[in-house]
Amino acid sequence: MAYGEKVLDHYENPRNVGALDKDDTSVGTGMVGAPACGDVMKLQIQVGDNGVIEDAKFKTYGCGSAIASSSLLTEWVKGKTLDEASQIKNSDIAEELALPPVKIHCSVLAEDAIRAAINDYQGRQVAVAEKQSA
Amino acid sequence: MSELKLPIYLDYSATTPVDPRVAKAMMECLTPDGNFGNPASRSHSFGWKAESVVENAREQVAALVNADPKEIVWTSGATESDNLAIKGAAHFYSKNGKHIITMKTEHKAVLDTCRQLEREGFEVTYLEPQADGLVDMDKLKAAIRDDTVLISIMHVNNEIGVVQDIKAIGALAREKKIIFHVDAAQSPGKVEIDVKDMNVDLMSFSAHKTYGPKGIGALYVSRKPRVRIEAQMHGGGHERGMRSGTLATHQIVGMGEAFRIAKEEMAGENERIRMLRDRLLNGLNDMEEVYINGDLDHRVPHNLNMSFNFVEGESLIMALKDIAISSGSACTSASLEPSYVLRALGRDDELAHSSLRFSIGRFTTEKDVDHAIKVIRQAVNKLRDLSPLWDMYKDGVDLKSIEWAAH
């Protein structure tokens, strides 16, 4: 199938590939998808004390659209508060990358990934707070 | 030495270019000064001349597979041949029984035809192949019932290139007096075909997998023993009533010439192609976590099907824009289902998603293969650097131990 220009750009030059220390309490990790379905996304965010996402990294196993969706997402979430980041919709990603209907699930997965990373981060914060009050 | 021409075509199992010698023969059957007549015209020399080249082509096709020319019926391609053979035989012999045996790794032209017959009240057994892709003869024997009227097993698999033991299956079918159909779309010029020795009753052929044109194929219908089929296409009674429709002289001549060349050149050509395939295999096989799909010994020399674990096939193909190949991953369908052939072999979905099919042919060069090896290695390494699964594998995580959320 033919890919759009933006998908190709992200695929050829993926942004923010890599990993953050998943044991760092300021890091949230979201891993979504399944190998059997042909795509797995791992998205990590580093959150500052002010609740702003300072850094984001990804690794993705999947088709070009899945790689592009996660690459784009890391660009978008940086500098956003958790609230703002959690409002990113899959349709925004699909629109920006001009994904065809058969590839919409890639953007859905990216939305799931940021939600999962935020949840993971928030869970860690609760655990840290409980430890301190205990 | 020929120059490297990009992109490199390594998808000969999808289709082949028409051999220039074939194209030349075809062009002589089109224009006003050529052999354009209707082979069915009895009243003038235009018809007689056309009929003569059609019959010559019939002999050429028959000669490659050791059939009698009278046993060759022209069709529009292997899909039509499969339909005509399976529906035609099932309908004709339905008074003897309504059970059919085929295999899960057959081409869709066979599987979907069988599905249609199921809707018409036939029962179909779809055999699981062994892990190497070959028919389990014991399972086949066990599947035969008193009301089994037809066995349809392909010769060469289109995805993994494995070659079934048609002779052994033919002997069994003949002994049990069951009609035996073989989809041989992928075999002419690649493996020896002898319909008599193999005890085949019906065999489907295509021209465009063997350097002939698209849109033409043939069905072998045995006369000794006499096998009957019900026509699916009705009309002027062409092809002894089995397939009506004006014969496409240029297409038929093209198929004949393509099969003539295949017969004359296959021995040398296959040796050269095997050398190229092994070169490709050796250039990739030392990478970590690569798997060959299907048996390597019982396989046409043209095919290599490999899985590159932890890399998804479609993204791999995207990285390999210099080479034209197929993937067993289908991320374009809503179901995201990988190749049903690889799944039938018992391959994990992950490995099926990570598979590539390379098929080598008449115009492939050593330079093509060397370039393909280089870009594949680069692409796999690049995508593994991007793959969270590769990281986990490297960290010693067992991916099977993780509960993935299927989506």
Residues of B in contact with A21 (CB under 8 A): none
By C-alpha distance, which of B186, B225, B247, B202 is closest to B58?
Answer: B247
**Stretches in chain A below the pLDDT threshold 70:** 1
Q: Is A30 helix (H, G, I), strand (E, B) or coil?
A: strand
Task: Exactly one of B4, B30, B137, B331 is catalytic; name it.
Answer: B331
Phi-psi region of B124 (alpha: psi -120 to 50; beta: other; left: phi over 0): beta
Annotated active-site residue B29? The verdict is: no
By C-alpha distance, which of A26, A40, A131, A45 is closest to A84?
Answer: A45
pLDDT value of residue B333: 45
| Beta-sheet pairing, B323-324 with B8-9 | parallel
pLDDT value of residue B122: 98
* Residue type at position B395: D
- Report chain A residues touching chain B, CB-CB < 8 A: 1, 3, 11, 14, 17, 19, 31-42, 59-67, 102-103, 105, 108-109
Phi-psi region of A93 (alpha: psi -120 to 50; beta: other; left: phi over 0): alpha
Contact by Cβ (8 Å): A97, A69: yes
Question: What is the value of pTM for the model shown?
Answer: 0.91
Facing B406 at nearest CB: one of A19, A36, A42: A36
CA distances from B222 to B93, B226, B314 (A): 15, 6, 43
pLDDT value of residue B334: 45
Distance from CA of B348 to the nearest CA of A (A): 7
| Beta-sheet pairing, B123-127 with B99-103 | parallel
pLDDT value of residue B330: 57
Facing A63 at nearest CB: one of B312, B349, B388: B312
Residues whose CB is less than 8 angstroms from the CB of residue B295 and which lie 6 or more positions away in sequence, other chains included: B132, B133, B134, B162
Q: Which run of H or E residues covers position A132?
A: helix A104-133
pLDDT value of residue B185: 97
Please give chain B's pLDDT, 407 residues, in tens. 567 889 999 999 999 999 999 999 999 999 999 999 999 999 999 999 999 999 999 999 999 999 999 999 999 999 999 999 999 999 999 999 999 999 999 999 999 999 999 999 999 999 999 999 999 999 999 999 999 999 999 999 999 999 999 999 999 999 999 999 999 999 999 999 999 999 999 999 999 999 999 999 999 999 999 999 999 999 999 999 999 999 999 999 999 999 999 999 999 999 999 999 999 999 999 999 999 999 999 999 999 999 999 999 889 988 998 999 988 765 544 455 788 999 999 998 889 889 999 999 999 999 999 999 999 999 999 999 999 999 999 999 988 888 887 65
**Structure tokens of B19?**
């051999």
**Structure tokens of B166?**
């048609």
Q: Does B123 reach chain A within 8 Å, measured CB to CB?
A: no
Contact by Cβ (8 Å): B82, B111: no
Q: Is A49 helix (H, G, I), strand (E, B) or coil?
A: coil
Residue with tokens 């003038």: B44
Residues of B in contact with A66 (CB under 8 A): 312, 315, 331
The whole-angstrom separation of Cα A8 and Cα A65 is 9
Distance from CA of A134 to the nearest CA of B (A): 32
